[in-house]
Structure 1
Amino acid sequence: MLSIRRLASLALLVSSALGAQLTQVNNYGENPTGVQMWVYVPDNRPQNPAVIVAMHWCTGTAQAYYSGTQYARQADSKGFIVIYPDAPDSGGCWDVHSDATLRHDAGGDSKAIASMVKYAIQNYGADPNKIFMTGTSSGAMMVNVLAGSYPDLFKAGSANAGVPFGCFRGQDMWHSQCANGQVSKSAQQWGDDVRNAYPGYGGPRPKMLLFHGANDDTLRYPNYNEALKQWSNVHGVSLTSTKQNTFQNGYTESIYGNGEVVGYSVGNGPHNLPAHEDKVLAFFGL
């Protein structure tokens, strides 16, 4: 059986033969933790393309997320750029716990990823009004972190099986109580956690799209409802619509406000859900 890294290498060879390829960028800006930047820039793109930051799961890599999702293939037809950060942690998890990563411009992995976005704006002419992010598991947790720490950079985020901003706060990379769905706060408390990440910020906040499986045995299902509480409070919106079996059987859609926050609860869904690239891109307006 081919390893994930071997499959990723083969995918890189194929993309190279077709033209655009996944490329590493060094010296992209402030990088306090040593996060690697990989980027896919399609050959055909508008003068000011959109950017999607796509973040891998624990034990994953930028290459694995590149080859395991369809964002680069969609980029070829839609003309957006995809940034694939690669976590420096030996286990491949993102720093979603440190005080630095949970504060604007303070450091941590989030600071490095923010630098990647600024690099793309400066060097690829990316449209600063079309910067988005998506991620799975640990990458989904980083989506929530970036939405709180850098709301000035991102217009929308999609988190596939994550936890609320700040839920993993602590000294260790892993927070068992949060992962097990045992951290519960009021919507106001969760919202305050986000607002305290960037004191004084009064600008717009990223729209949020959340997916979570009801049978998630890694990041337990209660985290889904806690995240909905958090982001609905941040946006100041309430639940306006709930529909079952929307775009797929077993998916319950919850819309808050005018779609500032949208959630999909997946009945009997495991931790490893599909990426739902088409749904994510539609939410981003791409």
Structure 2
Amino acid sequence: MYIYVPSKKLTPAPIVVAIHYCTGTGPGYFSGSRYATLADTKGFIVIYPSSPSSGGCWDVSSKTSLTHDAGGDSKTIVNMVDYAVKNYGGDRDRVFATGSSSGAMMTNVLAGAYPDVFKAGSVYSGVPDGCFYVSSATAGMATPGWNNECANGRSVKTAQQWGDLTRSYYPGYQGSYPKMLIWHGSSDYTLGYGNYQETLKQWSNIHDISLTSTKSNSPQGGYTQSTYGDGSQLIGYSGQGVGHTVPIHEEMDLEWFGIA
């Protein structure tokens, strides 16, 4: 666990969990993003977890990590949030997650398994919650892990099926789920572009909303914004010709999180 606490922070301070990609580290994601710089002016805390795996990827495929309070990497990150609340004055009611690639996958996992902890997420070039586990099972693998079916965007389900999968990871939960921003590039050949629509299908079902509008060149040239419902719970951004991964839009993330 690495943490950035600005000298002038809010009381209590919102918490942003910024989660690195495969081969990355917490300090690397600190250096490669501007969340800490923005924390200096906006007063929030940033947690930068480091994956314990040898390859630096997050466990987003085991039933343990996918399931509420079962353990694994997801529970470890939740423990970091608890620690920041207790020891650094973090606001338990304003906790958010964001990440790139493997970190994006973990953001979806956290939103699905711990909707009682996280209020919003921003996902840069990931896959749907549970996709790696489902794909591994389909492929007949004894141990869930990296699987090309999901990575290549070929794991296709109905919105209802994706939503039911996410709900299965926290049985009996009746509360609300985090609002989600979904980013993906059309030329992503590491985590295929098909994952963009599958992830949108998943969260649109969770929030029981449908696509209401699209807007070209938003938030910038070459991107298309897809708004679901009234835009308060789910928005997607597709980058034409953008590869893996979509550049981080920190200010937009913070606006989405409600951190002014």
CA contact (8 A) 2:184 2:245 kept: no
Deviation at 1:258, TM superposition (A): 2.2
TM-score (norm. length: structure 2) = 0.95
Alignment partner, residue 248 of structure 2? 275
Q: Write the distance in 2 (CA, Å) between the matches of 1:164 and 1:202.
A: 21
1:46-57 equivalent positions in 2, closer than 5 A: 46-57=10-21
Q: Write the distance in 2 (CA, Å) between the matches of 1:216 and 1:229.
A: 19
Q: Write the distance in 1 (CA, Å) between the matches of 2:214 and 2:33.
A: 28
Alignment partner, residue 149 of structure 2? 177
Deviation at 1:285, TM superposition (A): 1.2
Alignment partner, residue 106 of structure 2? 142
Q: Which runs of 4+ in 1 moved over 6 A?
A: none
In the alignment, residue 16 of structure 2 is paired with which amino acid? I
TM-score (norm. length: structure 1) = 0.86
Gaps of 5+ in 2: 137-142
Alignment partner, residue 88 of structure 1? 52
In the alignment, residue 104 of structure 1 is paired with which amino acid? H
Deviation at 1:257, TM superposition (A): 1.3
Q: Deviations over 1:97-146 (max 9, x none)?
A: 00100100001100100111111122222212210010000000000000
Q: Write the distance in 1 (CA, Å) between the matches of 2:156 and 2:245.
A: 23
Q: Does residue 177 of structure 2 align to residue 213 of structure 1? A: no
Q: Deviations over 1:226-250 (max 9, x none)?
A: 0000000001111112101022001
From 206, 209, 223, give the equivalent of 1:251: 223
Q: Write the distance in 1 (CA, Å) between the matches of 2:60 and 2:219.
A: 31
In the alignment, residue 53 of structure 1 is paired with which amino acid? V
The alignment yields a C-alpha RMSD, in angstroms, of 0.8
Q: Does residue 247 of structure 2 align to residue 266 of structure 1? A: no
Q: Secondary structure at the match of 1:226?
A: helix
Gaps of 5+ in 1: 1-36
CA contact (8 A) 2:228 2:234 kept: yes
Q: Secondary structure at the match of 2:170?
A: coil
Q: Does residue 114 of structure 2 align to residue 112 of structure 1? A: no
In the alignment, residue 271 of structure 1 is paired with which amino acid? H
Deviation at 1:77, TM superposition (A): 0.5
Q: Does residue 122 of structure 2 align to residue 158 of structure 1? A: yes
Q: Secondary structure at the match of 1:211?
A: strand
In the alignment, residue 65 of structure 1 is paired with which amino acid? Y
Q: Write the distance in 1 (CA, Å) between the matches of 2:128 and 2:235.
A: 14
In the alignment, residue 195 of structure 1 is paired with which amino acid? R
